[in-house]
Structures are given as C-alpha cells and as structure tokens.
Structure 1
C-alpha cells in the first residue's frame, strides 16, 4: 500500500513508482514470449534491424498476472477508489525499443487519449479524445519487463504536468480534446521538471491519466521491454458536487489544478 506521503506526491507530481510490482522471474518469462514475437534473435545483433517493434495485446497468464498482483490492486483502490477500475485481462501495447543512434520520429510529448469521439478514426488514436473527467481511463501504467537505466530509452515524464493538462481540458467539458489537439497545447508544460521511468524489471510507474510523457531513443546496448497499458475506469471521475473527504487522489489532483 502507498503511504500518505506517496499519495500526496501522486497528487502533486502525477505519478508514483512501485518497485517489485511483479517478480523478475515473471518478467523474464514474459520477455521470452516477446522476443519470439519480435522476429529477432537475442543472440544475433544483426537481426536487430528496426529501432522500434510494436507488439500487443497479450492475454497469456504471465502478462495478466504481472498486471494484477495483490499489491497493485490495493494501490488501484487507493488511487482510483474501490469499484472504480476494471482488472486487466491483457497487457499491451509494447513498444520494444532497440539500440539506435537515429531519431525514431515518435518521441514527442503527449497525453494518452481514452475514448473515441463521434468524429474519431478507430485506427488513429491521435483522433481519440480525453476529457476533464478522464472518461474510460483511470491510470497510465508504465510496466518495466526489463531493467531500464538512463540510456535504455526510459519514458520521460513531465513532473506535475497533469495539473496544467487539467486546466487545458476543463474548458472543453464532456467533449474534451483529441490527443492531437491536446499535444499542440503542451508547450504550457515546458517548464515542468523532467523525470525518467527507470528501474529494475518488475517496476511499475502508475501515472495520472493527464500526465504528459514522451518516448526517447535507446542509447544503451540492449532492447528495452516495457508495456504502457491503461487501467480502465469503471466510471468518469468527478471533481465537484461531493464531500471533500470522498474524492480519490485522481480526483483530488484535478481539484487542486482547478483551484477547487
């Protein structure tokens, strides 16, 4: 379970790091499955031809187990509230990042959208939407299935950017903004401190759904295996109309951003 200080940091910073959310052995079992699906030979670097290989969605038992440990479920209850999230029955997607000196063209700052609008293209997630109630999404989970150091393409995080994003989303109401529209406004988060999602295999970063983040190229020597699935919300989050003590941390962060 998270401490009171952990929860306060989640509200302020927009994320919390959970070490040992699943075991290194379980991570290795999952990596073996993923390696086979990359089409690459882990012992032959000449087969590592693509800088990024996208994989998913994985429903095999080791992946489901990794996303549903009892410690994670307890923390989901703390951050989103009991009954306000759905267990994961799969894990994906996986952007497997191989070592490369070249710009991969997919490292821009963004916030993940969570639901399709009336005008959205089902195959273009930049056209999907996100609204102030975070309809459909409780958390972004960055799940490390390999050890990730500073050179191994750790996801970049703009600390506290979720509060700036809440202020951008509020005027758009229920309709919200598309992921592309929101990405074009993220210059307001340029001054946020930056952190990176590093750690040993089995570490999970639980991020507020409004947190701005970005990929980067792998400057290390080994591929990075990470999943970035959402934790689905059972219902939209609220930030007004309830007793102050009944707001969960995801909602409290939005209320703080909006001066509630």
Structure 2
C-alpha cells in the first residue's frame, strides 16, 4: 500500500484517526525491541524482572527506528493528510511506552490530549494547545509488538477531535492548557464511542492532534511496545486559505467549528 484511499481520508476527518497496516516489517520491530530491552536492562525471557507496570523510554534515532518512521507508505500518508512539504521527516521515534502485565495500576491511564506548546512550564498541566494545533501536525501510534484487546491497546475516543476543536476555537492563538481541557473531561468527549489501537507489529495509527486517548493496564502475559511521537509541521496550519486547498487535518478542524 502506497497511498491512502479517499474513504480512509474521510474516516480520518470524521473519526480522528486512520489505521495503516504493514508500514514497516516485523523483523524491523524485533530489532528495535532488542535495543529497548537492553536499555531497560531486562530479559524478555525472564518475567521475574518485570516488576513495573509501565516503563517510559526516550527518543531513539538508531537505524531501526528511523527506517520504521520513514517508509514510503508513511511518507505518502503524511503528504495526503498534512500536505507535501507540510511536515518534517521524523529523525527519531519516541516516547516509547512499554506496558508490562502487572496487578499494579499503571497510574498513567487517564483520558487526555497531547499538548503541543508551552512545554517550558514545569507544570505539564499548563502545557497548551490551540485551534491551529501549533507545533503538532499529527499524533502517531507506532506498534512495535503485536497488540490485541488484552495487550493494553491505546483507547481512542472516536470523533473527539471535533469536541476539542470546538472547545479551542474561542481561545484563539493563546489556546487552552491541559488543566483547562481536563476540567470538562476534554470538552465532554466521554459521550464518544471508543476504539482500540490494536494490530500487528508494523501497524501505525495516524491520529488528528486533537484526538482524546488513554492508556490502560496490560492484562495479557507479554509486554506491549508502542511509540507515540508527534509529526512535526514545517509551517503553521492555515484554517483560512484563499484557494480553499485545505489539507485533511485542517478540514477536520474547519468542519468542527463550522467553517467548512
């Protein structure tokens, strides 16, 4: 697969995400997991050492990660959703979230959106988003292990990007903080149906930057490996274009706030 079909693009606009299978080979995912196991100083064959429910790892720029993030199907999808020249090729992948089977609560499984600016504030709840999604073109979920319903798949509130766009619109360029958005359960998006980001290693979910999502505990017997990097823009989003040539990530916002 080298491009997104029209119905997939429309699903991205209305649902807030699109799933792309087989974007990178399972063998590449296995190479990457070997590096991650080494950095965690854990043994994949010895579950006695898996004492924490979740381990977060930073950005990885080694070859398996760079290649996985820059395959032709992904570049074609970035062009279709964000526009040619509108995104920066990922130089690394991160943050990695590894979820282990554990009776302990993970402590990081609440609903949220990912902020895109204001990260210089030491209080992360004051990090911000605005209606033009300053600093972020997409949220991406890279599956580096097979993930089914019991393997702690990321939960997605289908269509919640619409609620967030409407909440952000009156705040203009300054936007709102995560604390502001959390006060009304992320624009009342709890009414939205949920989907699970399941799939084989090599699957990637390309999500609208306003999509509300959440982690969950791992209820299976094997660790789950997931990277959740942003796709960074080269230019700010334009919600008003004279020629009307809005890309899908902009169209989703425009429809939500009644401009399209």
* TM-score, length-scaled by structure 2: 0.95
SS at match of 2:236: coil
Q: Does 1:209 align with 2:209?
A: yes
1:35-73 CA distance string (max 9 Å, x none): 111121111111001111110110101101000001100
> What residue is the counterpart of 1:134 in the other structure?
133
Q: Does 1:70 align with 2:77?
A: no
SS at match of 2:224: coil
Is the CA contact 2:61–2:92 (under 8 Å) kept in the aligned structure 1? yes
Please list every run of 5 or more consecutive structure 1 residues that lacks an aligned counterpart in the other structure: none
Is the CA contact 1:162–1:212 (under 8 Å) kept in the aligned structure 2? yes
> What residue is the counterpart of 1:168 in the other structure?
167
CA distance in 1 between counterparts of 2:197 and 2:33 reads 18
Residue 238 of structure 1, CA deviation: 1.9
Residue 188 of structure 1, CA deviation: 0.9
Is the CA contact 1:142–1:205 (under 8 Å) kept in the aligned structure 2? yes
* TM-score, length-scaled by structure 1: 0.95
Is the CA contact 1:135–1:235 (under 8 Å) kept in the aligned structure 2? no
The correspondence of residues 77-96 of structure 1 with structure 2, limited to 5 A, is 77-96=79-98
CA distance in 2 between counterparts of 1:51 and 1:39 reads 15
> What residue is the counterpart of 2:24 in the other structure?
22
Is the CA contact 1:53–1:97 (under 8 Å) kept in the aligned structure 2? yes
Is the CA contact 2:163–2:187 (under 8 Å) kept in the aligned structure 1? no
Is the CA contact 2:167–2:187 (under 8 Å) kept in the aligned structure 1? no
> What residue is the counterpart of 2:177 in the other structure?
178
CA distance in 2 between counterparts of 1:124 and 1:98 reads 27
SS at match of 1:174: helix
1:107-159 CA distance string (max 9 Å, x none): 11111011117xx42x5433221110011100000000000010000000000
SS at match of 1:137: coil
Please list every run of 5 or more consecutive structure 2 residues that lacks an aligned counterpart in the other structure: none
Residue 183 of structure 1, CA deviation: 2.4
Is the CA contact 1:111–1:183 (under 8 Å) kept in the aligned structure 2? no
CA distance in 1 between counterparts of 2:221 and 2:207 reads 27
2:38 to 36, 39, 43: 36
The correspondence of residues 167-246 of structure 1 with structure 2, limited to 5 A, is 167-185=166-184, 186=186, 188-244=188-244, 246=245
Root-mean-square deviation (Å): 1.2
Q: After the TM superposition, which segments of 4 or more aligned residues of structure 1 sit over 2 Å from their partners? A: 123-127, 240-244
CA distance in 1 between counterparts of 2:103 and 2:179 reads 27
